[in-house]
Amino acid sequence: MEAADPRNSVPPGRVTPFFGFVAAVAALAVLLSAGPLAALAGRLAELPAAFWTMAALAVVCDARPFVPPGRRQSSAVFPSTCFTFAILLGWGLGPAVAVQTVAVVVSGWRMGHAAWRSGFNAAQYACALAAASAVTALGPGNIFAGGRLRAADVAAVGAATAVWFAVNYGLVSTALRLRFADRWWPGVRSGLGYELISTGSLLLLAPVLVAAARASAALIPLVLVPLFAVYRMARLAAEQEQLGALDPLTGLPNRKALLAEVAEQVHLHAERSARDEPDAHLALLLIDLDRFKNVNDALGHAVGDRLLIEVSARLAGAVGERDLLARLGGDEFAIVSTGLAGVDAARATAERLVAALAEPVSLDGLPLDVGGSIGIAMYPEHGEDFATLMRHADVAMYDAKHRNDTIAVYAAESDHNSAERLGLLADLRRVLEAGPAGSAERDAPVGARGGDGAALPAALPAAAGGPVDAGRPAAVGPGRWWARRHRERAEPDHPDDLINRIVTAADPIRRRAAEPAAEPGGSGVEGPVPQAGPARGDADGVGRITMYYQPQVAIATGEVVGVEALLRWRHPRRGMVDPEELIRVAEQSAVMRLLTRRVVDDVVEQLAKWAGAGITLRAALNVSVRDLHTGEIADQIADRLARYGVRPDRLQLEITEGALMADPRRVLATISRLHAIGVAIALDDFGTGYSSMQHLRRLPLSEVKVDRSFVLGMADDADDAAIVRSMIELAGALGLRVVAEGVEDERTWRLLHAAGCDVAQGWFYARPMPAGELTDWLARYRPLRPAAREAESRPPQAR
């Protein structure tokens, strides 16, 4: 009777209003039924055998009410309703209230109700019967006094039935609201349909009982046959529903049953929490078997099914009696652990489950080692409904897998798919789909190329003296067709269109007048770059994507030999989004494809603009593992290089060791295609992954980048310095160029020079900056050579 116990008490703070309402209902019931009950004493001898038969059946049937499986006892069906409503229609309010009260007392005793609860039930039924009696009194008179049943009689019965249900359900709903405050409505709303079908059917059967009683009292017990049939049908339907909530393989409850159990237990634990009980916590544990797929692939699904049956039996033996173990599908199981004092109790349950899975499972003499990762979500700390608890337990389970641990409790910082990050992903998609200013020109066919191979615009605005491209919409609304036609008639300054474009592109003054305002991070090469974003991105409230570039300097000569392209996103509400967060959000979705395409387009276009300005640089850009799993990036890079006339050796792709090890075969195929095009490949974050000498020997690499985590510490840590020197020597022996990132002071710079490092990048030289600022920086930069610096640092007499 554990489920009934909480309903026999009232949460603290709700006692006075709730019991005040109970007392008011009881007083109203006494007021309404006192007179009819007093008159009943003189009528007992006159009541026919039909009445006594109905009264006896009402009490006997209520001694065993029907409680559907999976529902609370408050949803029980009481057959006495049918008989007492028939007594009301046939013999009045007094006999009906008396029989109903006796039936309530009997059913309350059988179901373990508290005295106040049985009293309230009797009072609510008395009020409902009194309201129905008042409705019948407004009708044509005694409904069954005459011979034939008239239409007005049927209407009166229907109205009395509706009033009985409305009063009864209204009183119960009000009591629930006073007991549970804001938690009352979901239960009332979800139970309305069930009550309409069950209780409404019993009420509508009452007129049939009265009609049978008019013919003969012997016919009344026959109503037990349809009642029993209804009972059996309800029982069979409940059993079918129960079977539908079981997993056919293991016999455990399935997801549907788990949802119902969590909803029920959340309601119960909300009551406990309102009473400040210590065991008011609920835990949802999600288990995923670690090596089950290997068993299926190696031994077949039949062995996998036998393994699942054995695992389910072990888990069932490890959970408590009050806990529910369910199989969600595949190799996922869930446990609802109830009545917990806190997260430590949930961890103890998880540790028992881990211990149950620790021993190998022997099938046909073959021991199979199957462990599990368990995620825990607690009610109410991590959610107050099934969907939230399930999602958070799933996050915790994957967190345990990533940390190579067996148990993890949900933590918000581990939730990479939180609502905030999903919103960030949606904003990122919007800003990428909007595109940068001038994206229409970028996708238009390239009209001509200069002598250095840089692409020249296919058309220039009329204001700059160039012809308007008739195939591109002008910057006017669709209704301003006359403005477009007027612009199309504008004559170019030079009769030769090709010569005009070449002259305009070669003249910085004319080019600045022809081009729109430069974008930060890569649209212009002349002058400072404004920080305002394009109208499309800012208008949508998602900010703008910008490419920043950090110089890479040859240590021995001080010459700037390249740049690394770094992604930046300034969000109007979040500010500058952390690049690692940006990549982490995008990498697990299709947005990564859009982001890579945008970065490649921006970088290649910027290389073309630098080439047109006489700046020869190699740009390195990072790609994710998703990019390397398909050949799309190789096709895109080849297309963009050809479109803008950029030499392939001006572009370099950086891949991490983690991306390399994720799927070496597919990654190698993509890298080989890029190498065939002429694009250089660099191994980024060298030393932090698991790449072997075999990979370094087989890959068409041109460069390795020593991770900043080693470079930053080499000035103060002899171990870091030794690691960096070893990496440089190894790369040199393999004929690879070495780039050190994270060079932030002169001492580190000198140590790298002494170790033979080729290139360095870091704040010692320059911070990452937009393309326009980089152009200004290059104009001011003077090469910094270690030998010259050493000569400057010597005393004058020693020179």
Predicted local distance difference test score (pLDDT) of residue 67: 63
Which residues have CB under 8 Å from 366's CB, separation 6+?
299
Given a contact cutoff of 8 angstroms between Cβ atoms, the answer to whether 140 and 150 are in contact is: yes
**Which contacts of 253-260 are long-range, i.e. CB under 8 A and separated by 24 or more positions?**
253/324, 253/325, 253/326, 253/327, 254/326, 254/327, 254/328, 254/329, 255/326, 255/328, 255/329, 257/70, 257/324, 257/326, 258/324, 258/326, 258/328, 258/334, 258/336, 258/386, 259/386, 260/70
Q: E strands of 380-509, at which residues? A: 407-409, 448-449, 455-456
Q: Is 246 helix (H, G, I), strand (E, B) or coil?
A: strand
Q: Is 386 helix (H, G, I), strand (E, B) or coil?
A: helix
Q: Tokens 């470079």 map to which residue?
A: 711
Q: Is the pTM of this model over 0.95?
A: no
Predicted local distance difference test score (pLDDT) of residue 328: 87
Q: Which pLDDT tens digit goes with each residue over 219-239?
A: 777 777 777 776 676 667 666
Given a contact cutoff of 8 angstroms between Cβ atoms, the answer to whether 86 and 207 are in contact is: yes
Given a contact cutoff of 8 angstroms between Cβ atoms, the answer to whether 331 and 316 are in contact is: no
| pLDDT lower than 70: segments of the chain | 1-14, 66-76, 139-150, 180-194, 230-231, 233-235, 237-239, 241-242, 413-420, 436-541, 588, 657-663, 687-697, 787-799
Q: Is 221 helix (H, G, I), strand (E, B) or coil?
A: helix
Residue 101 to residues 74, 107, 110: CA-CA distances in angstroms?
17, 10, 14
Stated as kind and residue range, the H or E segment containing 552 is strand 544-554
Q: What would the DSSP string read from start to end of 38-77?
A: HHHTTTGGG--HHHHHHHHHHHHHHTS-B--TTS-GGG-B
Catalytic one of 351, 741, 744, 792: 741
Phi, psi of 586 (to 5 degrees): -80, -30
Q: Is 485 helix (H, G, I), strand (E, B) or coil?
A: helix
Predicted local distance difference test score (pLDDT) of residue 11: 65
Measured distance CA(304)–CA(310) in Å, rounded = 10
Given a contact cutoff of 8 angstroms between Cβ atoms, the answer to whether 107 and 65 are in contact is: yes
Q: At CA 211, angle to CA 208 and CA 214, rounded to 5?
A: 150
Neighbour count for residue 599 (Cβ, 10 Å) = 19
Encoded tokens for 584: 């982490």
Encoded tokens for 549: 């570039």
Best CA proximity match to 237, nearest among 71, 81, 63: 71
User: Angle between the 591-612 and 419-434 helix axes, to the nearest 10 degrees?
Assistant: 40
Residue 150 to residues 165, 215, 349, 481, 786: CA-CA distances in angstroms?
23, 18, 66, 77, 113
Question: What single-letter amino acid sits at 697?
Answer: R
Which residues have CB under 8 Å from 582's CB, separation 6+?
428, 567, 569
List alpha helices for 678-737, DSSP H: 693-698, 708-711, 718-733
Predicted local distance difference test score (pLDDT) of residue 502: 43
Predicted local distance difference test score (pLDDT) of residue 604: 94
**Catalytic annotation present for 587:** no
